[in-house]
């Protein structure tokens, strides 16, 4: 009997083509779509966003066309606790969360995998653009996608050997154009469906700040001063959740040179702004560090290229792995603006060797 694989289907083209490829390769494919968005989140806006009825129907049509079983599973409670609550509390603490990385870590490759395992699956597959290379001994390496513009390995840093051993990324070796072409050849309804938005559960007016305010229901908002580097108050703000490091707009400040958020002080609710050059950090401290290669254990040092935001280039740095899942990263040259809460990922060439959540910048 062929190995059973559960494909996490969003209704988008990537996971649909992933499922199609696995069917062709002879796997026993089962499609699962996750109901994630909390009921109370954006009732009207959700219709168009991710997890909408239409998305599920798209996935169902693909499953019908390719003739594999498909189900919608209810992951709302898990998602709410593991991703949405974390998202809101991070913003309220003056940090900039990365819900996609959290969802991968705690929902897709954890809770959903358990569902898959309960259904007798050997593998879980997604439509992520990343590659897994296995050596004959079973050791797995996580590599960037072939399509550099689409590479999503950044969001997958938390996958260790256990997760990688049971995960398949069928479209990781294809470009987006190839995926769409393939979908058209297969006659899939969603071949030309637009990309999903960045954060699936935040829709509606006002973006992240408004979502955080609604979810927190007014509790825990931290208004305070906007300060310059000398500690002078330039303005008042209505809550630190409205800011992220490097932000330029919405500061309520006008000055000669453009000013950017340099620091968000959670305890005092102070937002410190400075000119661009002052944002550069020499390094950072990471927590919840996960390493793909076990030989990079505690006390290890590696030279790597480090990405501190999805769309930023990877910069040369030295990574020192410390105890309790911490790591210190020193950039070769004073580097980028570092946002606590975001993800930092360590690459060596094509290979993702590890990563973690940013605790704070180091100078």
Partner 1 sequence: MPIYFDYNAGAPLRPEARAALELFLEREAGNPASVHRAGQRARRMLERAREAMAELIGAAPATVVFTSGGTEANNLAILGSARARPERRRVVSSAIEHSSILAPLAWLEASGYEVIRLAPDREGRVVPEAVAASLDDKTCLLSLGLANSEVGTLQEAGALASLARCTGASFHLDAVQAVGRVGVDVAALGCDLLTISGHKLGAPAGTGALYVRAGTPISPTMLGGPQEGAMRAGTPNLCGAVALGAVAEALSRGWREESERVERLTSRLLEGLRARIFGLRLNGPEAGRVPGTLNLTFPLVAGESLLIALDLAGVEVSMGSACAAGAVEPSHVLLAMGLSPAAAQSSLRLSLGWQTTAEEVDRAVATIARLWRQVSRVEGTAAQEAEP
Catalytic positions are 103, 200
Choice between 57 and 177, CB closer to partner 1: 57
CB-wise, 119 or 253, nearer to partner 1?
119
Count Cβ neighbours within 10 Å for each residue of 311-323 and write b for 16 or more, e otherwise: eeebbebebebee
CB of 49 to partner 1, least distance (A): 13
Chain center to CA of 341: 11
Q: Considering beta carbons, is residue 65 or 115 the nearer one to partner 1?
A: 115
3-class SS of residue 324: coil
Least Å distance, CB 114 to partner 1, is: 5
Q: Please state, in angstroms and rounded to a whole number, the distance separating the CA atoms of residues 195 and 183.
A: 14
Among 9, 46, 11, which Cα is nearest to 189's? 11
Please name the residue that has the structure tokens 């950090």.
281
* Rounded CA separation 232/308 (Å): 30
Contacts 24+ apart (CB under 8 A), 275-282: 278/229, 279/245, 279/246, 279/337, 280/334, 280/335, 280/336, 280/337, 281/331, 281/334, 281/335, 281/336, 281/337, 281/338, 281/361, 281/362, 281/363, 282/330, 282/331, 282/334, 282/335, 282/362, 282/363
Cα–Cα distance for residue pair 224/222, rounded to 1 Å: 6
> Do residues 249 and 260 make contact, with C-beta atoms less than 8 angstroms apart?
no
Q: How far is the CB of 139 from partner 1 (least distance, A)?
A: 25
Identify the residue whose tokens are 């189900």: 71
Minimum distance of partner 1 from residue 117's CB (angstroms): 5
Please identify, using beta-carbon distances, which residue of 115 and 276 lies nearer to partner 1. 115
Least Cβ distance, residue 119 to partner 1 (angstroms): 5
Which residue, 158 or 281, is less far from partner 1 as judged by CB? 158
Neighbour count for residue 71 (Cβ, 10 Å):
15
Beta-bridged to residue 305, according to DSSP, are 316, 347
Q: Which is nearer to partner 1, 158 or 247 (CB)?
A: 158
Distance in Å, CB of 53 to partner 1, minimum: 6
Which parts of this chain interact with partner 1 (CB under 8 A)? Answer: 30, 33, 35, 53, 56, 60, 69, 71-74, 78, 81-82, 106, 114-115, 117-120
Nearer to partner 1, 73 or 362 (CB): 73
Answer yes or no: are the C-beta atoms of 119 and 30 closer than 8 Å: yes
CB 56, min distance to partner 1, A: 5
């Amino acid at each position: 009997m062929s190995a059973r694989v559960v494909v996490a289907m969003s209704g988008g083209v990537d996971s649909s083509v992933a499922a199609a490829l696995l069917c062709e390769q002879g796997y026993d494919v089962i499609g699962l779509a996750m109901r994630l968005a909390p009921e109370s989140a954006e009732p009207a806006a959700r219709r168009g966003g991710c997890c909408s009825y239409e998305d599920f129907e798209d996935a169902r049509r693909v499953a019908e066309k390719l003739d594999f079983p498909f189900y919608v599973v209810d992951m709302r409670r898990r998602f709410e606790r593991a991703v949405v609550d974390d998202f809101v509390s991070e913003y309220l603490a003056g940090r900039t969360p990365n819900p996609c990385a959290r969802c991968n870590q705690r929902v897709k490759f954890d809770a959903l995998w358990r569902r898959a395992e309960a259904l007798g699956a050997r593998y879980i597959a997604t439509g992520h653009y990343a590659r897994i290379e296995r050596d004959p001994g079973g050791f797995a390496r996580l590599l960037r996608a072939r399509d550099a513009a689409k590479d999503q390995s950044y969001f997958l840093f938390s996958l260790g050997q256990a997760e990688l051993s049971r995960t398949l990324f069928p479209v990781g070796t294809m470009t987006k154009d190839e995926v769409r072409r393939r979908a058209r050849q297969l006659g899939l309804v969603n071949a030309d469906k637009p990309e999903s938005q960045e954060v699936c559960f935040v829709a509606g007016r006002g973006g992240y700040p408004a979502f955080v305010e609604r979810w927190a229901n007014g509790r825990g908002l931290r208004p305070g001063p906007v300060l310059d580097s000398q500690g002078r108050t330039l303005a008042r703000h209505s809550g630190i959740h409205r800011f992220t490091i490097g932000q330029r707009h919405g500061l309520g400040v006008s000055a000669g040179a453009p000013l950017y958020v340099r620091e968000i002080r959670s305890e005092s609710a102070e937002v410190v702004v400075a000119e661009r050059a002052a944002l550069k950090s020499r390094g950072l401290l990471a927590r919840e560090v996960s390493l793909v290669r076990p030989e990079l254990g505690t006390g290890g040092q590696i030279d790597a290229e480090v990405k501190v935001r999805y769309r930023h280039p990877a910069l040369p740095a030295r990574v020192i792995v410390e105890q309790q899942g911490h790591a210190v990263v020193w950039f070769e040259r004073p580097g980028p603006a570092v946002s606590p809460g975001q993800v930092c990922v360590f690459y060596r060439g094509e290979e993702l060797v590890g990563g973690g959540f940013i605790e704070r910048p180091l100078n």
